[in-house]
């Protein structure tokens, strides 16, 4: 009887230690960049678009403390389907990635410019969403592209001076070019046979 | 040669135009529909809508009287951060005295703001700012097909979405289905798919199905398209669910079985309730209905106060009561019953005869052994006994039928008794009667009743005694009459409870003449515990 008790206690202690070890290992697992699965579901982007729209609406109703300190360069959002379809995937990707980068810079500036605390959450959301979009594009094997430092005067860019215009550009860019790029992404095409 | 070429070209052109004519007409009709829809839906002027990735149309309407010529108007549009452009206008006459000024663009830029301005004679009359991808007005879905899914109350609706690249997943559909007779329809929404299964429909009914499309409003937006042409389809007819049918059958069988069991267990009670035994007075009035057919007068005349006797004999519900020995037979000549008045004696004789006759009709099985037993009982004589004795005398005088010869032997014994005591010979009848086996007595009584009038007068009581009636209401059956010893009265009353089985009767002819009274003879009285209430009755009758 005593022997049985001892044996069982030994087994239970061993199991507990093993479990603890596994937990520790999982927790401290080195964050190796594992190949991302392609995110082809556009509902993610739809969510970002909705949040960007909310920010734009909030900005339109803002009376004070919501202005850009200086003009920012933003990508052009217009899409002519004939023209767009003539471009190859690489060009499209470059266009989208540079535009996203420009928007990120602009929103960062806006975040510091706007003093209205109500808008801060919206702007933070938008910035976060842009980073997520980068991740999505990365998952689709679309490389990041950083335009040169002198962004002003680049082809396919505008300059805006008001916060409302900035957010409007932001929304239109997401709805237009980013979406078209994701729709046409090669990685997603292979999944959907 | 050139003329030939030209003529051929002209012919081809005409043919080509003729072929395109239907599509042109259809296109015009569609445009008119869209225009009317836009007039309803869009409050701003000019009303603009995009039909596809490239086509863009703007229009406004003016009253005929106030409208100027086309040249007076100018339509200018400007994309964001770009130079403005002009759009050529055309005029269309609409219903209700209106004029439509239409601008059509073949190339559009999306996701940029477009500013529109309409001038008339240099003066701005309309201005608007919009995004082209947010004013889509698509054609309704084509090739709407409705089919059955194979299940009850379901229909499968499928369609072809408008052919717009990049916008398939942004489309939202509404499927409207109504029954043919009702106006109120139900609507089902489907997103980004081109077929839908309608559920919860009524079986065996015809449905009208229509579909319309709209962009969902996230990336692209617009107005609801026109309804597609309706498609009619009938759902599968209602069929009996096998499970429900079988369950219903089983439950009904179980209920039927239960009810039957209950009915059977309570059948006697139910029979009594539903078909109650209607009491008939037959039992109290012997022969009234069977012999005389309900004629009470006749019955009274024939039976001679059998009213008194019959109940005594044939009351099945009467409880057996113990036999009371009211008179004791003794051979002492001192006992003599006083003479009765003629009428009373008549009645008495009638009744007595009746009883005796009923008891007579003996057959061989017999009373001889009982004679002794009966004698020892002893009965007190009454006038009734005297009457019996007289009858016995009469009987002896009359010749006996040969068939009853066997009974003569028993008679001999009675005769002996009679001889011993002349005065008491009236008691012999009683004695003899008592000695009869009860079944036989009973049977004989029956037969007597059957022999209604034929035996009248067959035996004459030619006794000189005034007690006997000369008119023989005394009814004898053809078979013999068993002489009875005096001093014994009727014992057969108890027999009323005895079984009515006449098989013991020896005489064949009697079997057919036996009267069977329904509801009268219940074997409730045990065979040996016989009551003799008749004795009491008779006593009361004497008084």
Rounded distance between C-alpha atoms, residue B518 and residue B526, angstroms: 19
Per the domain annotation, does A27 fall within a domain?
Answer: no
Min Cα–Cα distance to chain A from B71, Å: 30
Closest partner residue to B111 (CB to CB) among A46, A77, A158 is: A77
Task: Give the domain range for residue A89.
Answer: 38-188
Q: Could you count the other beta carbons within 10 Å of the beta carbon of residue B21? A: 10
* Complete DSSP assignment for B448-485: HHHS-STTTTTS----S-TTS-SS------SS-----B
Q: What is the pLDDT of residue B315?
A: 55
pLDDT band, residue A50 (cuts 50/70/90): very high
Query: Which of A106-120, B58-72, B370-384 is predicted with the least confidence, judged by mean pLDDT?
Result: B370-384
Min Cα–Cα distance to chain A from B242, Å: 43
The predicted model gives B135-161 an average pLDDT of 91
Rounded distance between C-alpha atoms, residue B239 and residue A13, angstroms: 65
Q: What is the pLDDT of residues B60-87, one digit of tens each?
A: 999 888 888 888 999 999 998 899 999 9
pLDDT band, residue B304 (cuts 50/70/90): low
A172 contacts chain B (CB < 8 A): yes
Q: Among residues of chain B, what percentage have pLDDT more than 70?
A: 56
Q: What is the pLDDT of residue A109?
A: 93
pLDDT band, residue B396 (cuts 50/70/90): low
Cis previous bond, B495, omega within 30:
no
Q: What is the pLDDT of residues B410-464, one digit of tens each?
A: 444 444 444 444 444 444 444 444 454 444 444 444 444 444 444 444 444 444 4
Q: What is the pLDDT of residue B530?
A: 46
Per the domain annotation, does A11 fall within a domain?
Answer: no
Residue B182 has pLDDT above 50, yes or no: yes
> Would you list which residues of chain B are within 8 Å, Cβ to Cβ, of chain A?
53-54, 79-81, 107-113, 131, 133, 165-166, 169, 218-219
What CATH number is attached to the domain comprising A116?
A: 1.20.1250.10
Residues of B in contact with A179 (CB under 8 A): 166, 219
- B36-134 and B142-235, same CATH topology: yes
Q: Which two tokens stand for residue B295?
A: 């004629």
Query: In CATH, what class is B142-235?
Result: mainly beta
Q: Burial level of B76, CB count in 10 A (0-12/13-18/19+)?
A: middle
β partners of residue B430: B485
* Annotated domain spans of chain B: 1-35, 36-134, 142-235
C-beta separation of B39 from B99 below 8 A: no
**How many folded domains does chain A comprise?**
1
- pTM for the complete prediction? 0.56
B36-134 falls under which CATH superfamily?
Immunoglobulins (2.60.40.10)
* Beta carbons within 8 Å of B13's beta carbon, 6+ residues apart: none
Residue B202 has pLDDT above 50, yes or no: yes
Query: Which of A20-24, A99-103, A117-121, B317-321 is predicted with the least confidence, judged by mean pLDDT?
Result: B317-321
Per the domain annotation, does A51 fall within a domain?
Answer: yes
A180 contacts chain B (CB < 8 A): yes
The predicted model gives B474-497 an average pLDDT of 47
Q: What is the pLDDT of residue A27?
A: 78
Per the domain annotation, does A32 fall within a domain?
Answer: no
Q: What is the pLDDT of residue B119?
A: 92
Cis previous bond, B46, omega within 30:
yes
């Amino acid at each position: 009887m005593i022997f049985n008790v001892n044996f069982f206690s030994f087994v239970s202690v061993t199991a507990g230690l093993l479990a603890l070890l596994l937990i520790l290992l999982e927790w401290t697992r080195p964050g190796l960049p594992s190949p991302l699965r392609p995110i082809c579901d556009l509902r993610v982007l739809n969510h970002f678009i909705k949040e960007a729209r909310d920010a734009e609406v909030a900005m339109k109703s803002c009376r004070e403390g919501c202005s850009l300190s200086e003009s920012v360069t933003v990508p052009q959002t217009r899409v002519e389907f004939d023209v767009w379809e003539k471009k190859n995937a690489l060009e499209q990707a470059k266009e989208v990635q540079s535009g996203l980068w420009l928007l990120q810079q602009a929103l960062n500036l806006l975040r510091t410019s706007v003093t209205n605390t109500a808008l801060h959450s919206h702007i933070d959301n938008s910035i976060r969403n842009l980073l997520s979009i980068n991740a999505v594009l990365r998952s689709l094997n679309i490389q990041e592209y950083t335009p040169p430092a002198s962004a002003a005067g680049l082809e396919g860019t505008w300059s805006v001076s008001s916060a409302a215009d900035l957010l409007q550009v932001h929304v239109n860019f997401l709805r237009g070019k980013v979406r078209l790029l994701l729709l046409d992404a090669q990685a997603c095409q292979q999944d959907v046979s | 040669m050139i003329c030939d070429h030209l003529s051929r070209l002209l012919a081809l052109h005409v043919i080509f135009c003729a072929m395109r004519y239907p599509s042109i007409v259809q296109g015009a009709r569609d445009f008119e529909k869209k225009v009317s829809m836009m007039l309803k839906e869009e409050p701003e002027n000019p009303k603009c809508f995009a039909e596809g990735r490239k086509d863009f149309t703007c229009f406004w309407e003016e009253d005929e009287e106030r409208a100027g010529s086309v040249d007076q108007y100018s339509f200018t549009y400007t994309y964001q951060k770009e130079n403005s452009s002009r759009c050529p206008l055309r005029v269309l006459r609409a219903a209700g005295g209106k004029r439509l000024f239409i601008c059509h663009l073949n190339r559009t830029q999306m996701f940029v703001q477009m500013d529109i301005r309409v001038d008339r004679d240099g003066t701005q009359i309309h201005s608007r700012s919009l995004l082209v991808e947010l004013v889509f007005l698509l054609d309704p879905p084509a090739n709407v097909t409705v089919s059955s899914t194979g299940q009850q109350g379901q229909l499968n609706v499928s369609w072809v979405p408008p052919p717009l690249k990049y916008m398939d997943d942004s489309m939202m559909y509404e499927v409207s289905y109504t029954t043919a007779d009702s106006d109120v329809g139900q609507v089902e929404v489907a997103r980004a798919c081109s077929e839908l299964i309608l559920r919860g429909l009524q079986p065996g009914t015809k449905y009208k199905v229509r579909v319309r499309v709209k962009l969902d409003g996230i990336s692209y937006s617009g107005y609801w398209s026109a309804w597609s042409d309706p498609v009619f389809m009938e759902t599968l007819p209602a069929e009996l669910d096998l499970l429900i049918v079988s369950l219903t059958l089983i439950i009904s069988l179980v209920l039927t079985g239960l009810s039957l069991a209950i009915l059977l267990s309570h059948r006697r009670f139910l029979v009594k309730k539903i078909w109650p035994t209607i009491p008939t007075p037959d039992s109290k009035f012997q022969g009234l209905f069977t012999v005389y057919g309900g004629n009470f007068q006749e019955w009274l005349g024939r039976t001679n106060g059998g009213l008194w006797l019959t109940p005594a004999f044939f009351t099945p519900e009467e409880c057996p009561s113990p036999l009371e020995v009211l008179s004791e037979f003794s051979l002492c000549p001192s006992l003599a019953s006083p003479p009765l008045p003629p009428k009373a004696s008549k009645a008495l004789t009638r009744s007595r005869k009746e009883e005796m006759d009923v008891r007579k009709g003996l057959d061989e099985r017999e009373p001889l052994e009982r004679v002794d037993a009966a004698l020892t009982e002893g009965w007190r004589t009454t006038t009734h006994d005297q009457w019996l004795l007289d009858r016995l005398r009469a009987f002896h005088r009359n010749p006996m039928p040969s068939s009853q010869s066997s009974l003569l032997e028993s008679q001999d014994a009675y005769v002996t008794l009679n001889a011993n005591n002349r005065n008491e010979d009236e008691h012999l009848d009683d004695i003899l009667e008592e000695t009869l086996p009860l079944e036989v007595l009973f049977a004989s009584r029956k037969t007597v009743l059957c022999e209604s009038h034929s035996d009248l007068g067959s035996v004459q009581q030619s006794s000189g005694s005034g007690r006997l009636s000369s008119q023989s209401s005394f009814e004898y059956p053809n078979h013999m009459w068993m002489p009875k010893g005096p001093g014994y009265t009727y014992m057969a009353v108890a027999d009323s409870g005895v079984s009515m089985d006449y098989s013991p009767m020896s005489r064949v002819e009697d079997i057919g003449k036996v009267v069977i009274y329904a509801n009268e003879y219940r074997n409730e009285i045990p065979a040996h515990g016989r009551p003799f209430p008749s004795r009491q009755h008779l006593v009361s009758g004497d008084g």
